Amino acid sequence: MSETLARTTNAPATDRPTAESGTTLVQAMGRTYFPLAFVARLPFAMMVVGVLTIVVAGRDSLTLGGMTSGVVGVGGAAIGPLIGAWADRAGQRTVLLVTAAVNSLLLFALTAAVYAAVPDLVVLAIAFAIGATAPQVPPMSRSRLVGVIHTRLPASRRQVILNRTMSYESAADEIVFVIGPFVVGLLAAAFGPAAPMIAAAALTALAVGAFALHASARTTAGTGAGTTSDAAPSAAHQAPVQDLWRARVLVLVAGFVGIGLFFGATLTAMSAVTGDAGHSERAGLLYGFMGIGSVVSALAVSALPARFSLRARWLTAAVVQLVGAVVVATADSTGVLIAGLVIAGLGIGPSLVTIYSLGSHRSPIGRGTTLMTMLGSAIILGQSAASAGTGALADTVGTTAALAMPAVAAGVVLAAAAGNWRQADR
């Protein structure tokens, strides 16, 4: 992935970003930034699937597993934007260090609770707290990068580098969401269902802690201007919070809710498929095929011509995603199912890149981290709702019904893309 960013730059990197050396993105961020930010994303991708895996294995209930995984998402969706707003006001470093420490302890607590004689409600409560304290690495990374691009790079190159950077960030998210479930599947198969949770807790403490302490934590994004201090702009320089609730922003949130619905419905449906075969812990391996298509297409977005507008890209990608979802719903063999997942992924990648690019354009002054966190939380919210709903549907109606849910989610993404067509950005 760093090779993609290296193509945006042509100079050697330094470990500490400085205004003097900030003529290229890798120089400005430091050569350690991108690997570190990538690894720091991994714990959350592991914990969502890990929660589902450990609860299904430990409590023998796909419904409870889906609910618990969903509650993790509800916690993240409910509290995530507040964490983003906190970071906009107090700076990322403190926020990340606090959330990483608390989240690690809660992951250990949930692992113990699943196998203890405690009510399901206690498990659900801990799951909510895990989501609520999940370190918001992806939106904070984007906020840092947007701030650096708009303050340390030549104005003539900013838009090109921003597009490529958003492509990289979306691809990094997708790769992590492929690797996360895959690692969970491998660890659970090799060492038991508790192993992924323990590994996620350790990674949260170490990788997120290192990300918090990186020098780039002093750089945040406001609008296109960015700021460079441990704290973000003062309230006097922030746009009113009402600007985050305008239609041009909410349509982006709706699109990400739809993508989250797709993720949650697909993962839970794959759990039902593999559970029918007696290997529910292998759902992440099957789910990973969707990520393959998404990663490839997300990376390819940077090669698209400028005349292929952002709104047209999103609408086209949403149609491709829906086609893949229909293939998944009607699949009569594992091969066809995998093909449908790959096709759907080819639509998801460009949608993620495009929506984040639109978000960077539409971010109100001083609300960059908040908006990026809202978008990330929208995915989590959709994923949580779909995980719970699809799990219950699989238990009560059957796997065939569960496999139809990704198509419903893809319809939400397409509706949001159509709504975005009327907005100002082209």
pLDDT of residue 232: 45
The whole-model pTM stands at 0.71
What's the token pair of residue 29? 């961020």
Q: 334-356: per-residue pLDDT in tens?
A: 899 999 999 999 999 889 888 88
Nearest to 354 by CA among 265, 423, 267: 423
Residues 6+ apart with CB under 8 A from 66: 52, 268, 271, 387, 388, 389, 390, 391, 392, 394
pLDDT of residue 241: 64
pLDDT of residue 369: 67
State the chain's maximal CA–CA distance in angstroms: 62
DSSP for 131-195 reads HHT---HHHHHHHHHHHHHHHHS-GGGHHHHHHHHHHHHHHHHHHHHHHHHHHHHHHHHHH-TTH
pLDDT of residue 231: 42
Q: How far is CA 304 from the centre of its chain?
A: 23
Other Cβ atoms closer than 10 A to 258: 27
269 and 390 in contact (C-beta within 8 Å)?
Answer: yes
User: Which structural domains are found in the chain, ordered by start?
Assistant: 22-420 (1.20.1250.20)
CA-to-CA distance for 263 and 268, rounded, in angstroms? 9
Nearest to 181 by CA among 265, 290, 278: 290
pLDDT of residue 424: 57
Distances in Å between the alpha carbon of 272 and those of 39, 278, 283?
Answer: 29, 10, 8
Give the position of tokens 């009327």: 422
Low-confidence ranges of the chain (pLDDT < 50): 1-22, 222-236, 426
Give the position of tokens 């801990």: 126
CA-to-CA distance for 232 and 216, rounded, in angstroms? 13
pLDDT of residue 306: 78
